[in-house]
Amino acid sequence: MKILVVIPAHNEAENIASVIAEVRTHNPGVDILVINDGSKDATSAIAEGCGSKVVNLPFNLGYGAAVQTGMLYAVESNYDIVVLTDGDGQHDPRYIASLLEPIEQGAADLALGSRFLGKADYRLPFGRRVGMLLFSKLASVITRQQITDPTSGFQAVSRRLMNFFVSDHYPHDFPDADTLIRLCFAGFKIKEIPVTIRPRLKGESMHSGAKTLYYIYKMFFSIFIALTQRQLLAKGETNAISNQDIDRSGQPHHHADHHRAGAKKAAR
């Protein structure tokens, strides 16, 4: 199977070389693609210097748009599985093989790395712990499946799910509990895998400061939208408004099509 490790990165010049080297050490047979999400530092040049493939987005489109760009690249390049890992060094690449296993066996469409089934080698801020617990319980109740770590970005994705994500079903910023709920409604299989999540090597988390409050507001709103789309998703409809199309004011985001078009152009 062709496997692509996608690393979304925004201003990760201090970390990206170590992340690429560690992925290669523990997973020598995979290809690596760095999505440089409008970084203002040397992230792109360093990643290219490490021998990684790099796609440069023209400006900071957000984590979800960067991931969707990687999915588009994988689909158009005929990869069978995509592994998502962050560019800050938090995701231990020794667990990539564990994430791949249920996808390769056909037991899951999404293998989700869980620090709560495995280990978190750092202390989570109180606000984040509360938010993660809240959305974990909410996602578990709605999907009728235990979801312990809905905010984990350490994932393996099947080819079938890639095709779903490159349509209208991926948010431009925080793809978490709301996305898992959509996947369940659409009939995709999710399996959590114990992993270790470490402190970021250097720099600041994208969930810091006021972003945490926006995240909580946006996630509640996006889950509500997902609940209204349950029947459409179950029927395989792709024309429902996704949380990619919701901006910070809670209104339809008319720039979403522009983001997708830009992602497709970059992936070619």
- pLDDT score, position 253: 43
Superfamily covering domain 3-267: Spore Coat Polysaccharide Biosynthesis Protein SpsA; Chain A (3.90.550.10)
- pLDDT score, position 18: 96
The mean of the pLDDT values for the chain is 84
- Bigger pLDDT: 40 or 223? 40
Q: pTM of the entire structure? A: 0.82
Indicate the helix (H) or strand (E) that contains 194.
strand 190-197
Instruction: Determine what percent of the chain is predicted with pLDDT higher than 70.
Output: 77
Q: How far apart are CA 6 and CA 10, in angstroms?
A: 13
Residue 165 near residue 124 (C-beta atoms within 8 A): no
- pLDDT score, position 247: 42
Beta bridge partners of 194: 114
When mean pLDDT is compared across 41-45, 71-75, 129-133, 219-223, the lowest value belongs to 129-133
- pLDDT score, position 251: 38
- pLDDT score, position 237: 54
**Cβ burial, residue 31 (10 Å; 0-12/13-18/19+):** middle
Q: pLDDT tens, 112-138?
A: 999 988 776 666 666 677 778 888 999
Average of per-residue pLDDT across 23-35 = 97
Q: Which two tokens stand for residue 32?
A: 């690596």
Beta bridge partners of 6: 33, 84
Q: pLDDT tens, 155-164?
A: 999 999 999 9
When mean pLDDT is compared across 1-10, 140-149, 162-171, 237-246, the lowest value belongs to 237-246
Query: What are the boundaries of each domain within the chain?
Result: 3-267
